[in-house]
Structure 1
């Protein structure tokens, strides 16, 4: 028997799987990567040796209005480590600079005060100016041209009016943008709902190059790069993380070149050989990404890449924040087939909120049975969306076995957001 450990909320779920049925466990190299220094030292090294850019302290000379874009409550960016070092670097040469942290919520709900405290720490919340982006607040936005795809580019005024625009974040495989980090801090991070919807259209979501690990020829990435250039994103600090959300490498410098360097590093660690199976067990890597159903489009996509047609995907997901999107809930409550038919007939200039997540979820539901394992969410909410539910992995496996028969194979992807399945 193999003992399998799967991230769940801020803890783990353990289950045993017979060796006769276990096809494989797909784990990225990042989970066992030994960093060459401590977290703070890694960040300092990156800031002192930026990629294709002067040091941040040089860029900050004479700048009065500095904006640092940071990720929201759904991302495990170690801001308590990175933010003080960014401020230290800026004020080394520009002590009077007004620094504002702009929380990039994208199309998500606003980050709460409690979540800000958890992210920044009490002292940072007290001492620094922090603004939470709201993509629906038109008065906080300004037009910045048109995306290569034709959509209107509308960006938060704070960023556009800054003397120096910086972004911090982390890099991981992303199911349709190729990788997170870098230019994603702008689009979808701090743009309007109109811009997010234009970029997340059905045509792009279905594009063969809009997938994990792919940047070249990816139309969503091209839109994002354009947005970053229009916003004049001057400098980034992006980190790579291990299974415990600890920094294992940091990349700082030019918003394009430093990001590419980080993507190359992450890709080398994230690519895993698929092990086709009848049942695939996965997770979103635990907190903070497993707070709702909405975010699990990521782990489900990774699982689908190595699950046989008609198979079963089991997602270990706390979902303590419920479905995470009323729009996604309403879409899927009407049935996956109906949702997909409507979406594929929707013009790219008329994209509907959370259509993109629905499109991917519906695509998966039309081919696989998906069982969510959770004891922190009302199961009826999840069932309304077309998924099945269980309180334990053992319960989910028993249900899965009835669907695929006695001669089944199981593949486990403990952290579905950290891998690129090939």
Structure 2
């Protein structure tokens, strides 16, 4: 019996033993429980950097970039320690917490309290980044890709720029964390769009778990260097969103150390399969089709050309983006979406373009059956996918297509792993 997270529950199905290649999951350990001590240890022994309290000595101002409401960063554990270190040798330093919303909506006060705690929200100066507010942004020139590098003025003008975040596999940036706090975190709309252009999304290096040669990562790292991101505190979290390891110090080397640790835990080798069953880790990550594309990329990495990806995701909030939905639904085929997207120049990237480009890439190569009983089936079918309410039904349909001897690989949480085909 296999079990795939679905919303706040799970779906189960039986895969015949002679068909099952294996069930593939990360080896990430559970938290020891002493999360604050893990962060303290990282701050006491920063990677290739003086301690944060030494960097703050003599500084009049500091900006701390924090992730927004869409990221499960345990800021209640991390932020108090960052603030204490900044003030240890500079008690009068002027600190601003800058919320890195990237391309998302603004974070509400209630969400800030949930993330940071009432005490910090009440006592600290907090500014929510707005990627469309020209008055709060400044142009720093060009990215390696040629796009304009436009960032939040507060981060540019401060004497000391620090960022907190978490590291997880990312389906085109390689990994989250580190430089991503700057781009897309505190970048202008046009900068984000230029970085997420179709040419870069198409690159074979812009894949989960890969930084080397990744043009999206290159732009992001350049932005962090240009604005002088001086120190980061990044964590790796378990399935319960608790800290299992912390990394602090140099923006690139501390991040690399975290990525290398995570890759050791999350990299899985999967034999090429006729059918891949995967999911998005359940709630909150499987709330819409937009987010479910991330889990589908794990299926894409393991499935043979012409094979079937069975994606288990509640998608209770629907498609997740109007332009994402309309582009797919109005197209004659995924191939048409793919071909049109590749014609879009770097400086003309559209919102959600990267998401429908990746979905079209997957659908050009594989059939996708979305397993959900919380989403309108007609919506799913309009986006060129099949839709069934139960995992058993999807598996029967896939066997009918590929035959009784079809080989099945199961990746219960597609967003938590880095999939490589087993040679």
**Residue aligned with 2:309, SS:** strand
Deviations 1:43-62 (A, max 9, x none): 11001111111111122223
1:177 aligns with 2:163: no
Structure 2 partner of 1:419: 417
1:289 aligns with 2:289: no
Structure 2 partner of 1:133: 129
Shift of 1:36: 6.1
100, 105, 112: which one aligns with 2:96: 100
Structure 1 partner of 2:143: 147
Shift of 1:337: 2.3
**Residue aligned with 2:161, SS:** strand
Instruction: For 1:14 and 1:162, locate their aligned partners in 2 and report how far apart those are by CA, in whole Å.
Output: 52
Shift of 1:34: 5.2
Deviations 1:298-318 (A, max 9, x none): 211111111122222122223
Distance 1:92 1:320, change over 3 A: farther
Structure 2 partner of 1:280: 276
Q: Which moved more, 1:35-44 or 1:257-266?
A: 35-44
Instruction: For 2:218 and 2:3, locate their aligned partners in 1 and report how far apart those are by CA, in whole Å.
Output: 38
Work out whether residues 73 and 115 of structure 1, in 8 Å CA contact, stay in contact via their aligned partners in 2.
yes
Distance 1:131 1:385, change over 3 A: farther
Structure 1 partner of 2:216: 220
**Residue aligned with 1:244, SS:** coil
Instruction: For 1:163 and 1:11, locate their aligned partners in 2 and report how far apart those are by CA, in whole Å.
Output: 47
**Residue aligned with 2:39, SS:** helix
Shift of 1:288: 3.4
170, 193, 199: which one aligns with 1:197: 193
Which runs of structure 2 are paired with 1:302-321 in the superposition (5 Å)? 302-321=298-317
Structure 1 partner of 2:34: 38
Structure 1 partner of 2:401: 403
Work out whether residues 73 and 288 of structure 1, in 8 Å CA contact, stay in contact via their aligned partners in 2.
no
Distance 1:324 1:249, change over 3 A: same
* TM-score, normalization by structure 1: 0.93
Note the aligned Cα RMSD (angstroms).
Answer: 2.0
Structure 2 partner of 1:90: 86
Work out whether residues 75 and 288 of structure 1, in 8 Å CA contact, stay in contact via their aligned partners in 2.
no
Q: Which moved more, 1:318-327 or 1:363-372?
A: 318-327
1:371 aligns with 2:369: yes
- What number of residue pairs does the alignment pair up? 418
384, 391, 405: which one aligns with 1:393: 391
Distance 1:107 1:131, change over 3 A: same
Instruction: For 1:334 and 1:261, locate their aligned partners in 2 and report how far apart those are by CA, in whole Å.
Output: 44
Shift of 1:113: 4.0
Instruction: For 2:118 and 2:342, locate their aligned partners in 1 and report how far apart those are by CA, in whole Å.
Output: 46
Distance 1:216 1:395, change over 3 A: same
Which runs of structure 2 are paired with 1:298-377 in the superposition (5 Å)? 298-335=294-331, 336-377=334-375
Distance 1:243 1:61, change over 3 A: same
| Structure 1: runs of 5 or more not aligned | none
Distance 1:244 1:15, change over 3 A: farther
Shift of 1:186: 0.8
Distance 1:8 1:61, change over 3 A: farther
Instruction: For 1:11 and 1:66, locate their aligned partners in 2 and report how far apart those are by CA, in whole Å.
Output: 43
Q: Which moved more, 1:347-356 or 1:107-116?
A: 107-116
1:240 aligns with 2:236: yes
Structure 2 partner of 1:260: 256
Deviations 1:85-137 (A, max 9, x none): 22222222233333332222222333344433332233333333333222222
Q: Which moved more, 1:203-212 or 1:116-125?
A: 116-125
Instruction: For 1:281 and 1:126, locate their aligned partners in 2 and report how far apart those are by CA, in whole Å.
Output: 46
Instruction: For 2:91 and 2:372, locate their aligned partners in 1 and report how far apart those are by CA, in whole Å.
Output: 49
